[in-house]
Chain A
Amino acid sequence: MDLIAEQNLVHKTRDARRAQTMPKLSPAERDTLIKKYHPDHRAHAYRPIKFGPNAGELTVTEVANLLEGDSPIPSDFVPKPEYSVDVLVVGGGGAGCASALHAHAQGANVLLATKLRLGDSNSVMAQGGMQIAVAPDDSPVQHFLDTLKGGHMKNDHQLLKVMVEEGPSIGKWLLELGVLFDRDADGNLHVKKGGGSSKARLVTCSDYTGLEIMRVLKDEVLNQKIPLLEFAAVVELLSDGKGACTGAILRDLDNNRLIVVAAKTVILATGGIGRLHIQGFPTSNHFGATGDALVLAYRLGAPLVQIDTFQYHPSGGIYPEQLVGALVTEGIRSEGGHLVNGKGERFVNELDTRDVVSSSIIRECEEGRGVRTASGHVGVWLDTPLLDVEHGPGTLDKHFPAMVRQYERYQVDIRKDPVLIYPTLHYQNGGVKIDTNGETPAPNLFVAGEASGGLHGRNRLMGNSSWI
């Protein structure tokens, strides 16, 4: 069979599938599915960490190797500060820019360092939206419960309570900076329903939510004239010898020179880990997502939490070759898009949590019901044309312009044809342990965004990568 013939099967079975309801799995069924097929449960990929605060705990070998690595700083290096600041923010994505702006607004002397350019991040790619419990029939408590369910009850309750209660205020802050969220006719924020959520709670800027937010945050960092060190990677944190953080050593990537920054407070907002390509998975992450904060904080003695669990986003592209690993927005499934195997059948409730949906796709492919591309990738169909059939022509153009463009570049028209997908390494569920102020057990060391751990439990819900 060739791909065109396989594709026709999706068109042929569409009407029959529309009449079908996919039941949600029971907790026991979910558990069995995940234990059998989710990459987090592949024992051979894991090993115990040899030393440090998490000694003896399991993590993937890619992370363990980095945690146990040697310092890149020569042993005879004498740290002489070139900069002396109140707050050093490390990372230029959503969490980094938000931290820098908030600290600056409080009158702190802030320096923002990032190893690529300001704004180069995963945040800029967020398409699906941001969960804020704003609808009249919704509440922060419901947001809390949904997130807890998605995280397999392992979320840090206190962190989670802060996120769901501060979400609306963060939304207001972004609006006041000029972020153009989608609205209803009455001017209220338009909310969409996301996978694993019981209420419509996703606030969006079409499918450019992260791009719109990052354009604005970056512009505001520049307007506020917050000093920047771009193309400068933090390679080691400095301590007072008693475990408290006192600054950082950076490497200027343009000339390889080491730069010492003395700081009363360091905020690590270096994002996730996708570019380590754990277990060989493709990734949706940006070029700089190499788990820097995990290693930096660990070497200072800060413990990590839940670093044995990673999120594999159900829908990464596998065709065309240029889109391997690239994220195909969850929004398609939120608006009713079906997942279809090589036999033309649905096989999961598409709105179940990411780990359940990913596991079910892996199951279909490993049991021979996948579809293989010419370059050897195996995946399943995401029925995109269904959205125009279901909600009227123009739905994809209106709601998913970024995705239409993403595929048009390679002569694939998602309005006419379904796309092939397979799970892609998307998010680091755990991270550095923090309290409700974002501070780690190492005094003066704070962690924000994806690099921090505890909030999401063992699986992050769509739209919950918050910026505290």
Chain B
Amino acid sequence: MKSQDVVEQDQAIQPQMVSVEIEGKRYQVPAGITLMKALWYTGKNVIRGAGCLGGFCGACATYYRTKDDPKVKTCLACSKAVEDGMSFSFMPAFPARKASYDLIQLKDPKQDLFELYPEAPLCRNCNACTEACPQSIDVREGVWKAVFGDFKAVSEMFMDCVMCGMCTPVCIADIAPNLVALYASRAQGVHFTDKPEGLDTRIQEITDGKFNQDWDRVMKLSDEELQNTTAAAK
């Protein structure tokens, strides 16, 4: 059915092709598709590197370079479009060290940071981590905030962090900034955030059977009565 509201599209659209280099090999792929789709388009069976495909899981951390530019940049392959002359490769799994901790048992999480991640205060301010972040987080600032104990600021700054880990291989002080930030954020939640009283009240109400009468009434209703009850709710 056609109407004046629909944009006419009589001719099939022919994709314009661009030339890209994937892991050193040259391919022609349609312009405008994501780097991930370009990998599929060239027939690669991507297993390591494909995750949520929505920019949230960090599985497809990728290094890329645009035509004639010496600067190697970072991106998520699911969220970046190909350009003519672009070169790119997935970041390999990087063997960063994650500290193990039992958050609830920690007595002084801000001090314990230096035991768990002794390299954290050794940041030399090169800013490579911030430049490497595909989420535009000020990573270097975040590491310093963690070191100075401002865990609240860290948790807010890193709410966007997809844990791709691209900040880690570039660090000349061997810090894994995303892991330091995750520790600080969790510690903020466990040790330095108010307990929501309303939630405890509700759990207690359920345990005490406050809703039992309502349940008895509702669970005995026939399908038709239930339908009428739910239809009445606004």
Which residues of A are in contact with B by a Cβ distance under 8 Å? 1-3, 6, 27, 116-117, 119-122, 124-125, 132-136, 139-142, 144-146, 148-149, 153, 157, 161, 165, 168-169, 171-172, 175-181, 183, 187-189, 198, 205-206, 208, 210-212, 214-216, 218-219, 222-223, 225, 231, 253-254, 284, 286-287, 320-322, 326-327, 341-343, 366-372, 374-376, 378, 401-402, 405-406, 409-410
Contact = CB atoms under 8 A, between A and B. Distances in A.
Contact of A215 (B9, B182, B234): B182
A389 to B, nearest CB: 24
Given A117-B59, A134-B198, A374-B9, 20 more contacts: A121-B52, A134-B196, A134-B199, A145-B233, A149-B233, A153-B227, A172-B199, A175-B199, A178-B189, A181-B196, A187-B195, A188-B198, A208-B159, A210-B56, A286-B54, A327-B54, A368-B5, A372-B6, A402-B160, A406-B79
A183 to B, nearest CB: 7
Contacts of A212: 159
A253 B46 CA distance: 11
A125 B193 contact: no
B69 interface: no
Contact of A368 (B3, B98, B199): B3
Given A168-B202, A187-B196, A189-B196, A215 B161 contact: yes
B32 interface: yes
Q: In the A-B complex, list the 4 residue pairs whose CB atoms are closest, starting with the nearest.
A: A178-B186, A178-B189, A187-B194, A368-B3
B187 A178 contact: yes
Contacts of B230: 145-146, 148-149, 153
A369 B3 CA distance: 8
Contacts of A205: 159
Chain B interface mostly: loop
Interface stretch (B21-29, B99-107, B138-146): B99-107
A444 B202 CA distance: 33
Contacts of A1: 7
Interface stretch (B84-92, B119-127, B168-176, B212-220): B212-220
Task: Specify which of B102, B198, B233 lies most central, judged by the most chain A CB atoms within 10 Å of its CB.
Answer: B198
B214 A153 contact: no
A285 to B, nearest CB: 8
A233 to B, nearest CB: 10
B19 to A, nearest CB: 19
Contacts of A121: 52, 57
B17 interface: no
B132 to A, nearest CB: 17
A401 B187 CA distance: 23
Contact of A253 (B47, B98, B193): B47
Contact of A183 (B135, B194, B218): B194
A253 B49 CA distance: 13
Contacts of A144: 218
Contacts of B163: 119, 215, 218
B190 interface: yes
Interface string B140-166: 000000000000000100011111000
A183 B188 contact: no
B13 A175 contact: no
Contacts of A371: 5-7
B18 interface: no
Contacts of B214: 139, 141
A284 B54 contact: yes
Nearest to B187: A178
16 contacts: A124-B51, A134-B198, A134-B202, A140-B211, A145-B226, A165-B206, A168-B203, A178-B189, A180-B185, A180-B193, A188-B196, A284-B54, A321-B32, A327-B54, A368-B2, A372-B7
Contact of A219 (B3, B80, B186, B194): B186
B233 A120 contact: no
Contacts of A322: 32-34, 79, 81
B233 A287 contact: no
Nearest to B31: A321
